[in-house]
Copies of this chain bind each other. A is one copy, B any other.
């Protein structure tokens, strides 16, 4: 038997032994040694049969399609075998055998689902007194454990600084590739943040840039943003960060009506030059299926005119002003000035960033940036944790 534990690169330790199986009309009730009772519908069990006929062992991908099995299929027999596995023989003779560790990890009784939900990584909200997580370039490049610590901070806190990055242009690509490939955008694979006469974004001026996420103009905003300081001789240009999730959380409690407006009323963001014209219509705060904040989308300088029913307009402006005002409150803001060789890496869909105005007459300022998506971050963490 090709055990599913090996098949999907995860381990499914035995949490509790299977002690009994009770057949019902459309499911089995499985009894565990620790007292838990888990229902498994016949459909679900047949669908998840791990035998080599149902799953191709090389790719570990399913070949069976459940629609090819009778909807009312029931077991002839179901029992716990000598190795503690659940064995089901189906009416048509097909046999399925389930490892108890795997079965427990995928049980969908209420207690098992609640346990899995609890075990999910949670965002650690932060405010002005954040102890900034700082990491060393060489450790990240050489030590998988240090790399993992950095990635967990990115996932859970969403703001990190890396020190000791070589100041040769392009160096940030090396550290980004410790995670995965870089996500290209219409601004390139790597982008240079410098004041330019022919700027195609306010980012490429010396202006104050209010707190924002990058590329809210796209359906999927980039997940991680890297900003690497090569030269920073100009007066001004400090970086400012806020935890957008902490602000959303405060807004939800302090002004639930405003929270609802920014979650529900879509806003257009756009970026356009001679060669491109990006537009995205989406709410400022996006919630996941459980009602938890999944992302913040915000860049006042890229926002289009509000387009909402007239009766919603006052509420939308009230909520928008409230949100912006909160991003300016000292209680949320972390500020720091980078030196050459320092690099910010943060969750662009959570941690809003700003730049104070700088004076290009006082010296050069050159940052390089790039993006990597959350999917790559989470994949890399899972592989490092195997």
Interface residues in chain A, defined as those with a beta carbon under 8 Å from any beta carbon in chain B: 8-9, 26-27, 39, 41, 43-44, 47-48, 56, 58-63, 65-67, 71, 106, 108-110, 113, 116, 180-184, 186, 197-202, 204-205, 207, 210, 217-220, 266, 270, 272, 274-281, 283, 289, 300-303, 305-310, 313-314, 317-318, 320-321, 324-325, 328, 373-376, 378-380, 382-383, 386
CB neighbours of A274 from chain B (8 A) = 9
Q: Assess whether B277 is in contact with A375, with CB atoms less than 8 Å apart.
A: no
Q: How far is the CB of A364 from chain B (nearest CB, A)?
A: 20
By the criterion CB–CB under 8 Å, are A184 and B183 in contact? yes
Given contacts A63-B301, A108-B313, contact A379 B278 (CB under 8 A): yes
Chain B residues within an 8 Å CB radius of A8: 270, 272
Is the Cβ of B310 less than 8 Å from the Cβ of A9? no
Cβ A63 vs Cβ B202 within 8 A: yes
Q: Which residue of the partner chain B has the closest CB to A300?
A: B65
Most chain B C-beta atoms within 10 Å of own C-beta, residue among A48, A204, A207, A310: A310
Cβ contacts under 8 Å, A219 to chain B: 220, 373-375
CB distance from A249 to the nearest CB of B (A): 20
Report how many copies the assembly holds: 2
A310-B108, A313-B44 known; A301-B61 Cβ under 8 A:
yes
**A325 touches which of B67, B183, B198, B307 (Cβ 8 Å):** B67
Check B63 against A320 for contact (C-beta < 8 Å): no
A25 to chain B, nearest CB (A): 11
CB-CB nearest in chain B for A208: B63
Contact pick for A65, options B199, B324, B386, CB 8 Å: B324
Contact B41 A314 (CB under 8 A): yes
| A301 and B43 contacting across the interface, CB-CB below 8 Å | no
* Interface-central residue, A65, A302, A307, by most chain B CB under 10 Å: A65
Q: Show 17 A/B contacts (Cβ-Cβ < 8 Å), sorted by A.
A: A8-B272, A9-B277, A27-B310, A44-B305, A47-B305, A47-B317, A59-B200, A60-B272, A67-B321, A67-B325, A110-B309, A181-B186, A182-B184, A184-B184, A186-B376, A186-B379, A278-B379
Complex contact A303–B62 (CB within 8 A): yes
* Chain B, residue nearest A302 (CB): B61
